[in-house]
Amino acid sequence: MQRNEIPAWAGALAGLVSGGLALGIAQLAAGLVGPGAFPVVAVGDATVDLTPAPVKDFAIRTFGENDKAVLVGGVLVVLAAVAALIGVWSRRRLSHGFAGLTAFGAIGVLAVLTRPDAALPDALPTVAGVAVAAWALSWLVRRAAGAPVPAEAREGGEGAKAWPERPAVMRAGGVAAGFDRRRLLTGAAGGVAVAGAAALLGRQFGGRQAVDAARAGVRLPAPATPARPIPAGADLRIGGLSPFVTPNRDFYRVDTALVVPQVDPRDWTLRIHGLVDRPVELTYADLLKLPLTEADVTLTCVSNEVGGPYVGNARWLGARMADVLRRAGLRSGADMLLSTSADGFTCGTPVDVVMDGRDALFAVAMNGEALPVDHGFPVRQVVPGLYGYVSATKWVVDIKVTRFDTDQAYWTPRGWSAKGPIKTQSRIDVPKAGDSLPAGATTIAGVAWAQHTGVAAVEVRVDGGQWRQARLAEVPGPDTWRQWSIDWTATPGEHTIEVRATDAAGRTQTDRQAPSAPDGATGLHAVKVRAA
Ligand SMILES: Nc1nc2c(c(=O)[nH]1)N[C@H]1C(S)=C(S)[C@@H](COP(=O)(O)O)O[C@H]1N2
Ligand SMILES: [Mo]
């Protein structure tokens, strides 16, 4: 049937509203099926996985903790542009619009079903969203096209030969004869309201509330092995210097999850299998009944650049990984623990490191509270001395005991080293790069780390002069960072301050600059300041 043609902006609006409805309905359905089934997130996740490592590093460096918001924003902008185009195409032939919607739905379904933890029902939200969008698109276009234009109203009305056989008649102003702006706008408003309500409901169902409530209800057992008290002298309390304990809300976050997995501790289990004598499956209650160890451990990301922010120190509480693994009985030849998170991320951790007596934990708490959801609730791994990408699996649910020559973890085929011991580093926190300070006596201070060996010395030099020993703060053990400070009399002018640390085995960090890929950045942190 021929319709009165509507203006392009009206088509674009109908397309946008239909696209919004697709997302709202998909979000509602994903609330029932699972967050990974929301196509925008799946497309974003797939983008993350398909992005070449250098681009990903660039994104982490440029957008920092906002990299995910930027990515989801980008997906939404592209979606909006395509939806508007589909609307414009649909003005003359709805079948063109339907073809566009189908193509887009196919991409969504493909992205959803290729996620590591996907199941067939995960395609449902995308299919439902696209079906509703198709219906809404045809409804809106019909509404906008208005009532058939009576033949008499048409210029040179030709009686029997008039509509519907005739092509759409355009007036001089380019507005379709039958275009009904009012009905389009009321329809669009209705569509937006339905889309918003569906999205909100979807979030409600999404399980966030349930998991937040479960987390609030967790009663943490007292540690069987408490941490050594943090010495009073661990924190120099210098303005601008990172506190010895990083508060949870300030702790850096790095992961591949666009939507944080919502894992209800009542449903959580940890399965240990592979090269073991007896596979083990633990519930959260089982884990809390084990003797728990408390430990202060500094976590670092391999993508942290020299002087960068992806390092933090917290007090963790958890079951010793070695205890749990001994229950399963490690077979000889096993050298890798391939851990998997609820959202399919994997880590490969060397068995010998986990079993050598250090505080490698299945952690349930961070700084005295149940793990924040962003940091792996209900259970994550923490292994002193290893970068997070090879050790610190959040939302961990599965451990396959295996070999490095049989299995690869998430980041290995993406250009990162299979093993990732943390490199000794030091950072200047005060003054900050670019600061202007009054000439005269001042304090330079920062943090240094050499996890599981410990920091034995920190030296500072100004303008390439003599290295001078910094004062070291106290530490509870070798697994945390160590604060340091040094006095300096700043003369007027520009200055470059550099720092270097030496570990307890006498190894001084290298001044050779290396990028973070494939196994951690090296080089000295330097800041330029001006004194006047
Ligand atoms: N499930 C999951 N766990 C993960 C990651 C991830 O992408 N997914 N990233 C790892 C990396 S690279 C780091 S540096 C640490 C960061 O832990 P945080 O976010 O609690 O600081 O988590 C590790 N655990
Ligand atoms: Mo990391």
Three-state DSSP class for residue 174: coil
Position 279, amino acid:
P
Give yes or no: residues 290 and 376 share one domain: yes
Give yes or no: residues 240 and 387 share one domain: yes
Query: Which of 414, 442, 457 is the endpoint of a domain?
Result: 414
Give yes or no: residues 301 and 165 share one domain: no
Structural domain count of the chain: 3
Residue identifier of the C-alpha nearest atom 7 of ligand 1 = 255
User: Is residue 217 a part of any domain in this protein?
Assistant: no
Q: What is the pLDDT of residue 159?
A: 37
Give yes or no: residues 167 and 242 share one domain: no
Give, for all 532 residues of the chain, the pLDDT tens digit. Answer: 445 578 889 999 999 999 998 888 888 888 877 767 888 888 888 888 787 777 777 777 677 667 777 888 888 888 899 899 999 988 888 888 899 889 888 988 998 888 877 788 888 889 999 999 999 998 898 888 875 555 444 443 333 333 343 334 333 344 445 788 888 899 989 999 988 888 888 776 667 778 988 999 999 999 999 999 999 999 999 999 999 999 999 999 999 888 889 899 999 999 999 999 999 999 999 999 999 999 999 999 999 999 999 999 999 999 999 999 999 999 999 999 999 999 999 999 999 999 999 999 999 999 999 999 999 999 999 999 999 999 999 999 999 999 999 999 999 999 999 999 999 999 999 999 999 999 999 999 999 999 999 999 999 999 999 999 999 999 999 999 999 999 999 999 999 999 999 999 999 999 999 999 999 999 999 999 999 9
Residue identifier of the C-alpha nearest atom 20 of ligand 1 = 375
Give yes or no: residues 296 and 243 share one domain: yes
Q: Identify whether the C-beta of residue 175 lies closer than 8 Å to the C-beta of residue 124.
A: no
The dihedral over CA atoms of 400, 403, 408, 412, expressed in degrees to the nearest 10, equals: 120
* CA 145 – CA 132 distance, rounded (Å): 20
* CA 304 – CA 457 distance, rounded (Å): 22
Give yes or no: residues 380 and 429 share one domain: no
Treating both helix axes as pointing N-terminal to C-terminal, what angle do 8-33 and 39-50 enclose, rounded to 10 degrees?
A: 90
Buried b (16+ CB within 10 A) or exposed e, 227-255: beebeeebbbebeebbebbbebeebbebb
Query: Which of 414, 433, 460 is the endpoint of a domain?
Result: 414
Closest ligand 1 atom, residue 375 Cα: 20
User: Is residue 478 a part of any domain in this protein?
Assistant: yes
* CA 165 – CA 494 distance, rounded (Å): 81
523 CA → ligand 1 middle, Å: 24
pTM score, two decimals? 0.77
Which ligand neighbours the alpha carbon of 363 most closely?
Answer: 1
Range of the domain at 180: 8-206
513, 462, 458: which is closest to 241 by C-alpha?
Answer: 458
Q: What is the DSSP letter of 235?
A: -
Give yes or no: residues 368 and 333 share one domain: yes
Give yes or no: residues 433 and 299 share one domain: no
Residue identifier of the C-alpha nearest atom 16 of ligand 1 = 254
Report the residue among 394, 399, 414, 516 best suited for mutation to probe ligand 1: largest number of ligand atoms under 8 A from its CB.
Answer: 394
Residues 436-463: tens digit of each pLDDT? 999 999 999 999 999 999 999 999 999 9
Q: What is the CATH number of the domain that holds 527?
A: 2.60.40.650
User: Is residue 125 a part of any domain in this protein?
Assistant: yes
Closest ligand 1 atom, residue 396 Cα: 1
Residue identifier of the C-alpha nearest atom 15 of ligand 1 = 388
DSSP per-residue string spanning 424-486: PEEEEEESPTT-EE-SEEEEEEEEEE-TTT-EEEEEEEETT---EEPEE---SSTTS-EEEEE
395 CA → ligand 1 middle, Å: 9
User: Is residue 213 a part of any domain in this protein?
Assistant: no
Residues 251-289: tens digit of each pLDDT? 999 998 888 898 999 999 999 999 999 999 999 999 999
Residue identifier of the C-alpha nearest atom 5 of ligand 1 = 255
**Residues 6 or more apart in contact with residue 159 via CB below 8 angstroms:** 151
Give yes or no: residues 272 and 362 share one domain: yes
Tokens at residue 384, please?
Answer: 């002193």
**Residues 6 or more apart in contact with residue 484 via CB below 8 angstroms:** 426, 445, 446, 447, 448, 455, 458, 470, 471, 472, 473, 499
Q: What is the pLDDT of residue 114?
A: 86
User: Is residue 218 a part of any domain in this protein?
Assistant: no
Which ligand neighbours the alpha carbon of 313 most closely?
Answer: 1
Q: What is the pLDDT of residue 153?
A: 44
225 CA → ligand 1 middle, Å: 26
Q: What is the pLDDT of residue 32?
A: 78
Give yes or no: residues 408 and 459 share one domain: no
User: Is residue 397 a part of any domain in this protein?
Assistant: yes
The dihedral over CA atoms of 293, 503, 299, 344, expressed in degrees to the nearest 10, equals: -100
Q: What is the pLDDT of residue 177?
A: 56
389 CA → ligand 2 middle, Å: 5
Three-state DSSP class for residue 349: strand
**Residues 6 or more apart in contact with residue 249 via CB below 8 angstroms:** none
Q: What is the pLDDT of residue 200?
A: 81
User: Is residue 493 a part of any domain in this protein?
Assistant: yes
Treating both helix axes as pointing N-terminal to C-terminal, what angle do 124-145 and 39-50 enclose, rounded to 10 degrees?
A: 120
Q: What is the 3-state secondary structure (H, E, C) of 244-304?
A: CCCCHHHCCCCCCCCCCCCCCCCCCEEEEEECECCCEEEEHHHHHHCCEEEEEEEEECCCC
User: Is residue 302 a part of any domain in this protein?
Assistant: yes
Give yes or no: residues 410 and 429 share one domain: no
**Residues 6 or more apart in contact with residue 426 via CB below 8 angstroms:** 446, 447, 448, 449, 455, 458, 484, 499, 500, 501, 509, 524, 525
Which ligand neighbours the alpha carbon of 49 most closely?
Answer: 1
* Chain position carrying tokens 């942290």: 304
Q: Identify whether the C-beta of residue 261 lies closer than 8 Å to the C-beta of residue 395.
A: yes
In 114-223, alpha helices (H): 124-145, 181-205, 208-216
Query: Strand 396-402 relative to strand 269-274: parallel, antiparallel, unpaired?
Result: parallel
394 CA → ligand 1 middle, Å: 6
Q: How far is CA 519 from the centre of its chain?
A: 20
